[in-house]
Chains A and B, each alone.
Chain A
Amino acid sequence: MALVPLATHFHGDFVIKLLPVDTENTMDEVAAAAATNAVGIHVPDQPGKTLRVRKQGADAPYERSSTVAASGLEPTECVEIYFE
């Protein structure tokens, strides 16, 4: 377990935000943590939809249960979080 700071682009937001996560966090946990900095603060909620995480610019999201460690993301690399 180790702390990894990520840069997060929550779709609909106007600014990239810092998000400290743990290497053992799943992508669902990363998305939920990113949402606490964006949803209801700068981005409206979309009830009933699922949050997904992908590397900035990637076509496909990470598996929801995959971990930060498995993603190979490096400190302060940018991920996008979006409603699906």
Chain B
Amino acid sequence: MALLERAQWYDIARNTEWTPRYVTNDELFPPELSGGEGLPEQIWATYDEPYKVSYREYVDIQRQKDAGAYSVKAALERADLYNKADPGWISILKEHYAAVALVEYGASFQEARFVRWSKAPGMRNMATFGMLDEIRHGQIQLYFPHEYVNKDRQFEWSHAAMFTDNWVTLGARHFFDDVMMTRDAVSTSIFANFSFETGFTNLQFIGLSGDAAKAGDFTFSKLIQSIQSDEARHAQLGTPLLQMLIENGQKDVAQKKIDIAFWRSYRLFTILSGIPMDYYVPLANREDSFKEFMEEWIVTQFMRSLEDLGLSKPWYWDIFLRDISEHHHGQHLGTYSWRPTLWWDPAAGVSPDDRDWLEQKYPGWNDTFGKVWDVIIDNFANDRPEQTVPGTLPIICNVSQLPIVGTPSQTLRDISLVHEGRRYHFASEVDKWIFEDDPERYRHHKNLVDRFLGGDILPADLGGVLEYMGLGSVGPGGDDAHGFAWVDTYRKQLAKAG
């Protein structure tokens, strides 16, 4: 039987719509799930998806993508990347898979909610493919690390991390629950598809893909390119909705959603992308800094997409531009110092050559963050490793769930407020603004320190905290990725100095 060209049937099929007779429109599409309050009912049929694809086309393309990624994996399995790659690169894989795989599976539920609750037929159609995309991303990013589980039990976290209360998981889960799982269809699409996916998955997937190829990990490079090709497509889901809001007098509503999602995405990615790009990628393979990636993918490209829509930079733009040179350096010091709490082995990335690179990319690094590293290095070089892990917890932000860090002697400060008798702490003025904008959304959540002080973690010591976070049971916690080999250079310097 001859097949019709897609263009001959697509619009009719896409526009097929419910005609409810036994329920009201609000019962069919409850506002708290569908969103878009204040928009005229007739507008939903005008949603014009930026890409059009039939199920037959979709399946064919996806089959080819899977075949490409799996065949590269099969071909390179015997290359023994695990034993040949720099341990810093292996740490990137551990961090990435555990932070991403199950979240991708969660994203399939986000898209499935669009399929049911979106009032725009075109969006429901697009989201069906988005849902299938995310199921693929969840499965493939569990399958690929499974190859390594018998070599290194930290890869167990690829599957387990999101089911634990590890502090990194608490941060990731709080973020994704906020932007992806608990808002109406219109809001979620602007938070997750437009702000998070358009801006930040590019950073992680394209940025890391290049780093992977340079590190010789063509399997990972091919995998995340394959995933990004889906992301680039379904990330466009939110753009027509933004246009609808703007054209119907709700520009401020749209802007605020982007401002919240942008900051929250950025801060999470300081951990997921910032630390690996500037410290874990082997120096020989490292070219652009995290800041430079941010400037290219976020400052230039994402901002252009905002301007194209007639939207503005977030109100905290100056804070953000300063922050991309600072925050992830503090988070790296924190994750390295509290390395037993990680599910991966962090690379220190502070050999003399690394420090030259950091100073070149971030002028002033040696006089600020470097001063803290001087103390840590002195302890290692003089065989005092017990003094390199603090005996207490950091204070944690009640929005980002990340430790409150800053540039030593310059920007470190605690920002707090008391809301209904409880003191909340924030890692920035922007996090505080997000909380104050909707305290009911955030006020009940307890961060790791709240749980510790509230008696949820027993015994109330570092051992109890590690056990609470699944370290030692799901898989071993972190230690230096290179077995402290990088300290030898400093020991030699010390010996030479007499």
Q: Mark B368-407, 1 if CB is under 8 A from A, else 0.
A: 0101101110010000000110111111000000011111
Check: A66 CB closer than 8 A to any chain B CB.
no
Contact B403 A15 (CB under 8 A): yes
Contact residues of B between 318 and 338, Cβ < 8 Å to A: 329-330, 333-334, 337
Contact residues of A between 28 and 64, Cβ < 8 Å to B: 36-37, 40-44, 56-57
Interchain CA distance A18-B394 in the complex, whole Å: 6
Which residues of the other chain, B, contact A70 by a CB distance below 8 angstroms?
Answer: none
Which residues of the other chain, A, contact B369 by a CB distance below 8 angstroms?
Answer: 14
Residues A15 and B412 in contact in the complex (CB < 8 Å), given A36-B391, A41-B387, A42-B372: yes
Which of B388, B391, B405 sits near A15, CB closer than 8 Å? B405
Contact B425 A13 (CB under 8 A): no
Contact residues of B between 289 and 347, Cβ < 8 Å to A: 329-330, 333-334, 337
Contact B413 A56 (CB under 8 A): yes
Which of A43, A76, A77 sits near B375, CB closer than 8 Å? A43
Which residues of the other chain, A, contact B388 by a CB distance below 8 angstroms?
Answer: 41
Interchain CA distance A7-B395 in the complex, whole Å: 7
Contact B412 A9 (CB under 8 A): yes
Contact B406 A14 (CB under 8 A): yes
Which of A9, A11, A19, A75 sits near B392, CB closer than 8 Å? A19
Residues A18 and B395 in contact in the complex (CB < 8 Å), given A44-B374, A76-B416, A77-B416: yes
Contact A15 B425 (CB under 8 A): no
Q: How far is the CB of A69 from chain B (nearest CB, A)?
A: 18
Check: B453 CB closer than 8 A to any chain A CB.
yes
Looking at B379, B388, B403, B412, the one whose CB has the most chain A CB atoms below 10 A away is B412
Q: How far is the CB of B431 from chain A (nearest CB, A)?
A: 13
Check: B449 CB closer than 8 A to any chain A CB.
yes
Interchain CA distance A16-B406 in the complex, whole Å: 9
Contact B394 A15 (CB under 8 A): yes
Q: Mark B339-364, 1 if CB is under 8 A from A, else 0.
A: 00000000000000000000000000
Known: A41-B390, A75-B453, A76-B416. 9 other contacts (CB 8 A): A12-B372, A14-B329, A14-B412, A15-B334, A15-B394, A41-B388, A42-B372, A76-B453, A77-B423
**12 cross-chain CB contacts under 8 A:** A7-B416, A14-B372, A15-B337, A15-B394, A16-B403, A17-B392, A41-B337, A41-B375, A41-B379, A42-B333, A74-B423, A78-B414
Binding site for B on A (CB under 8 A): 5, 7, 9, 11-19, 36-37, 40-44, 56-57, 74-78
